[in-house]
Amino acid sequence: MFFINIRWQASSLALRHGCGWSCRGFRGFIQTMAAINPKLKIVPALLGWFAQNARDLPWRRTRDPYAIWVSEIMLQQTQVKTVIPYWKRWMRELPNIRAVAKARSEKIHKLWEGLGYYTRARNLQKAAKQIMEKHDGRFPDHFADVLALPGIGRYTAGAICSIAFNQPVPILDGNVIRVLTRVFGIAKNPKMKEANGRLWDLAELLVASAAKYRAPRSSRRKEAHSKITNSQSLLTSAATIAENCSSLNQSLMELGALVCTPRNPRCEICPVKNLCVAFREGRIGELPNLGKREAATARRFVGFVIERNGRFLVRQRPAGAVNAHLWEFPNVEIHPRPGSSPAKRDQSAHYSPRKSQSRLTSAATVREPDFEIIHAAKSLGIEPPAILPLCTVKHSITRYRITLEAFHVHLGGASSARPHNKMGRRGTPPSGKNNVWLPLAKLSPLAFTSAHRKILQTFNSKTT
């Protein structure tokens, strides 16, 4: 019943607002809605909380849509603390849309190196070129135009339009879904079409009501004072209560990030505790209902730092592959034999979609090369005199738990090479258009995948 009301309210709201309600009439409508549905009370509670508690993040010190766009793309599947140095470096090196459009692909990949999901960076450049061509270099301020840019979906378009232009457009990401499902006690799986559509409607209603909300005069003074004097606040004096759409959307994300966390939410300090169904009914652990999680899959790779005459073999991943255009050392996947214990053990693990960013968890000493390792080396066309353990790198990408064991292979002089097979020669890995031999000093400037960057760092630390 609640959702029927919300749907009617949202469409009615949009229709009437679009048809030219006066401000006073619209405000009256919002107040009426809040009276009919006390659940809209979360709007002032969130706005007040955000004014006092928002983190001082660098992209919140500007209303430049380009800067906000870059931050939103980087923040997809990536934690704030990881993004901050990347964002600062990107903005320093590529301060505007024109600079992104003109940048070399190598520079784009190098600036993104380690953030993962490199398609995001390539789409940023495609979109920058499109903005130069179609919008004369100015970031568009119409939602439909923003949504039409490569790499921008409904969430990102909503985030940019609400944060940069204070437009009453909704956002719905993992944090917002968690807050809304808990506050309103929504038990259906938010990934399912119907529940997802209803959550979007709800987010739309909330931001629309924020657009016309006016805080009582006394709290307005308090907020303004807080914004100007609190050095920790990212809301500068330029950010005023006229930016309610921006603040409301960011408050939902911020509450999900800082207070209404997936595990152990801090309900005791939550500004909407008194309005929260999950808190009142003791259902926090059940919500959001994300269904059964997919089991994690273990994958194992072996990589080789192959050295010959002071040069090292590296290759660039081809277009269309995962981590396309990034550099790596030659490596091969080892498929576990059916029933082998490591794969069995990992079947019981589960992954969290919110933590799907590629990350390094360890770089420990690797075991001595065994039959499988030697076989892997041979599959790459190398049959070296010695394979020396270097390190093990563990990381996760989406549901994959990846272990990469790295070895150092010293081939000696070119004269040791002997004929091997069609792929290469004994002691000489196969050549290919993406394979190059480079001195060690030339490797660092390349954009490596995170795991292979770790291998390079380990190799450097052991040999210098």
Q: How many CB atoms lie within 10 A of CB 144?
A: 8
Q: Is 279 in the site for ligand SF4 (CB under 6 A)?
A: yes
176: nearest Cα among 148, 147, 211, 206: 206
Q: Is 222 in the site for ligand SF4 (CB under 6 A)?
A: no
Task: Note whether 203 binds ligand SF4 by CB under 6 A.
Answer: no
Contacts 24+ apart (CB under 8 A), 338-342: 342/298, 342/300
- Using rule CB under 6 A, residue 259 touches ligand SF4: yes
Does 187 engage in binding with ligand SF4 (CB under 6 A)? no
- Give whichever of 255 and 296 is closer to ligand SF4, judged by the CB atom: 255
The residue within the footprint of ligand SF4, chosen from 199, 276, 373, 404 (CB under 6 A), is 276
**In the set 40, 260, 326, 363, which binds ligand SF4 (CB under 6 A)?**
260
Residues in contact with 381: Cβ distance below 8 Å, sequence separation at least 6, in sequence order: 420, 421, 423, 424, 425, 428, 429, 430
Q: Which residues pair with 331 in a beta bridge?
A: 303
Q: Whose Cβ is closer to ligand SF4: residue 183's or residue 373's? A: 183
Of the candidates 72, 113, 204, 405, the residue annotated as catalytic is: 72
| Alpha-carbon span 450 to 462, nearest angstrom | 19
Span interacting with ligand SF4, options 19-27, 166-174, 266-274, 334-342, rule CB under 6 A: 266-274
Q: How far is the CB of 261 from ligand SF4 (least distance, A)?
A: 8
80 forms part of the interface with ligand SF4 (CB under 6 A)? no
CB of 185 to ligand SF4, least distance (A): 10
Give the helix/strand (H/E) hosting 34.
helix 23-36
> Torsion angle of alpha carbons 172, 176, 177, 180, nearest 10°?
-120
- Burial class from Cβ neighbours inside 10 Å (0-12, 13-18, 19+) for residue 431 reads middle
User: What Cα–Cα distance (Å) separates residue 315 from each residue in 312, 347, 349?
Assistant: 10, 32, 33
Cα–Cα distance list, 439 to 36, 137, 308, 408, 443 (Å)? 71, 40, 10, 15, 7
Given the complex with ligand SF4, which of 241 and 258 has the nearer CB atom? 258
Residue from the set 203, 270, 296, 302 that interacts with ligand SF4 by CB under 6 A = 270
DSSP lists the bridge partners of residue 316 as 327
- Judged by CB under 6 A, does residue 257 bind ligand SF4? no
- For residue 199, the SS3 value is helix
Q: Does 252 bind ligand SF4 (CB under 6 A)?
A: no
Distance in Å, CB of 67 to ligand SF4, minimum: 30
Give yes or no for residue 121 binding ligand SF4 (CB under 6 A).
no
Instruction: Tell me the β-bridge partners of 314.
Output: 436
Shortest CB 354 distance to ligand SF4, Å: 16
Residue 222 CB, shortest distance to ligand SF4, in Å, is: 22
User: Cα–Cα distances in Å, from 179 out to 152, 230, 257, 270?
Assistant: 23, 26, 10, 11
Angle, in degrees to the nearest 10, between helices 193-211 and 244-258: 130
Helices (H), 212-339: 217-229, 244-258, 277-281
Contact range with ligand SF4 by CB under 6 A, out of 54-62, 101-109, 276-284, 399-407: 276-284
Cβ proximity to ligand SF4: between 186 and 446 the closer is 186
- Of 146 and 278, nearer to ligand SF4 (C-beta) is 278
Question: Interaction with ligand SF4 in 165-184: which residues (CB under 6 A)?
Answer: 179, 182-183
Is 72 one of the catalytic residues? yes
Q: Is the CB of 71 or the CB of 250 nearer to ligand SF4?
A: 250
If binding is defined by CB under 6 A, does position 284 make contact with ligand SF4?
Answer: yes
DSSP 321: S
- What residues make contact with ligand SF4 under the rule CB under 6 A? 179, 182-183, 259-260, 265, 267, 270, 272-273, 276, 278-279, 284
Catalytic residues: 72
